[in-house]
Amino acid sequence: MKRRFLQSIIALLFSILSQMNLSFAETVFSPQGPLNFGVLINNEAHTIYRSAHLGTSELKKLWSYMKSRQLPTPEIVIHMNRHGFRRKFPMFSHFALQEYELSTDYGYEFYHAFHYPYRTYLDGEDPYNPTKNIDSSGYLGSRARDYFGEINDPEKDGGIEDFMRIMHLILSSQEPVLFHCTGGRHRTGIVGLTIRYLQGGEWINGKKRKVTVNILGPTLKLNPAQYEYYLHNKTLFRMKNINFIEKFQHDPRFMELQYLYRDSLNRP
Residue 10 has pLDDT above 50, yes or no: no
Q: Give the model confidence (pLDDT) of 32-91 as tens digits.
A: 667 999 999 999 999 999 999 999 999 999 999 999 999 999 999 999 999 999 877 555
Cα–Cα distance, 182 to 130 (Å, whole number) = 18
The phi, psi pair for 180, rounded to 5°, reads -160, 165
Structural domain 24-263, CATH architecture? Alpha-Beta Complex (3.90)
Cα–Cα distance, 107 to 129 (Å, whole number) = 35
Do the beta carbons of residue 15 and residue 8 sit within 8 Å?
no
Helix (H, G, I), strand (E, B) or coil at 243: helix
Q: Give the model confidence (pLDDT) of 92-123 as tens digits.
A: 689 999 999 999 999 999 999 999 889 999 99
Peptide bond into 117 cis (omega under 30): yes
Residue 17 has pLDDT above 70, yes or no: no
Mean pLDDT computed over 164-172: 98
CB contact burial 84-111 (16+ within 10 A = b; e otherwise): bbbeeeeebbbbbbbbbebbeebebebb
- Domain residue extents for the chain: 24-263
Cα–Cα distance, 200 to 215 (Å, whole number) = 29
Q: How far is the CA of 60 from the CAs of 73, 106, 112, 141, in angstroms?
A: 11, 9, 20, 24
Nearest Cα neighbor of 111 from 79, 84, 66 is: 79
Mean pLDDT computed over 154-173: 96
Could you tell me which residues are beta bridge partners of residue 50? 38, 179
Helix (H, G, I), strand (E, B) or coil at 2: helix
Do the beta carbons of residue 88 and residue 94 sit within 8 Å?
no
Cα–Cα distance, 102 to 63 (Å, whole number) = 12
Cα–Cα distance, 39 to 214 (Å, whole number) = 24
Full DSSP string of 152-204: --SS-BS-HHHHHHHHHHHHT-SS-EEEE-SSSSHHHHHHHHHHHHHH-THHH
- Mean pLDDT of all residues in the chain? 88
Q: Report strand pairing: 109-111 vs 76-79.
A: parallel
- pLDDT value of residue 29: 55
- pLDDT value of residue 7: 46
Helix (H), strand (E) at residue 96: helix 95-101
